[in-house]
Amino acid sequence: MYFKGLNDETREDFEDRIRDAFNMYVETQIDSGIEVPEVPSSCATSVEVAIDLVDAITLIENEETFLIWLNVNLEACCDGLLEDTNEYIEES
């Protein structure tokens, strides 16, 4: 149901709805394996860069998780459509 456009739904609305569903149902992000080394507190400018790097890694992990979730759900959606179509053909 989530992976089909609704009547009069724009692409942007569809994308927002899919992202909202992802955020509602997925609590754990995959671990990218990217590690940020400790930055000494005496390196004030490096600390800010390290914080930005951690934020970027978190975004990458979120997008990787979204891609996996999306692919699994799209495959399930397509399998369901194929089964429904085959049942309809058999009944006809």
C-alpha dihedral sign at 77, 80, 82, 88: negative
pLDDT at 71 over 90: no
0.75 surpassed by pTM:
no
User: Cα–Cα distance between 28 and 62 in angstroms, integer?
Assistant: 9
Mean pLDDT of 34-40: 85
pLDDT at 38 over 90: no
Mean pLDDT of 19-47: 87
pLDDT attached to residue 80: 67
Look-up: residue for tokens 């394996």?
33
pLDDT at 46 over 90: no
